[in-house]
Structure 1
Amino acid sequence: VNSAAENPLPEPLTNRELEVLNLIAVGHRNQAIADSLHIALTTTKAHIRHIYEKMAVQSRTQAVARGRELGLIQ
């Protein structure tokens, strides 16, 4: 059963937000994400905030769990 089809996000994540989510899933901290993607730390934090809002979660752990449920984590 494809849970992504059953629980779609009202507003899908952007490609960059998916990149950030996948880096969160492997344990990267905000600065490591910023360095890896060659973006500012404040931009990284904004992406994470948008991920939380779109996924209706309040933590990295919840975001990763929801991402796995939806098949968004590679």
Structure 2
Amino acid sequence: LNNRQIAEKQFISVNTVKTHVKSIYTKLQVGDRVSAVKKILRS
């Protein structure tokens, strides 16, 4: 799902989604969704 689709499904703004996604990337030390998923699946 892209940020807009996530926002619509969760009834939140796109900016809120972007903020949370950025926080997740920082915590996982990755730069994109694919890298985040790979890292999660490896752990």
Q: Do they superpose with TM above 0.5?
A: yes
* Identity in percent: 33
In the alignment, structure 2 segments of 5+ residues that lack a partner are: none
- Measured in 2, the distance between the counterparts of 1:47 and 1:69 equals 22
Runs (4+) off by over 6 Å: none
2:9 counterpart of 1:31:
no
Q: Name the structure with the higher helix share.
A: 2
Following superposition, the deviation at residue 52 of structure 1 comes to: 0.4
Matches within 5 A, 1:1-74: 28-70=1-43
Per-residue displacement from partner, 1:31-55 (whole Å, max 9, x unpaired)? 0010111111000000000000000
Aligned amino acid, residue 8 of structure 2:
D
Per-residue displacement from partner, 1:4-61 (whole Å, max 9, x unpaired)? xxxxxxxxxxxxxxxxxxxxxxxx0010010111111000000000000000001111
Matched pairs, number: 43
In the alignment, structure 1 segments of 5+ residues that lack a partner are: 1-27
Question: What CA RMSD, in Å, does the superposition of the two structures yield over aligned residues?
Answer: 0.8
**Higher RCO, 1 vs 2 (CA within 8 Å, ≥6 residues apart):** 1
Following superposition, the deviation at residue 68 of structure 1 comes to: 1.5
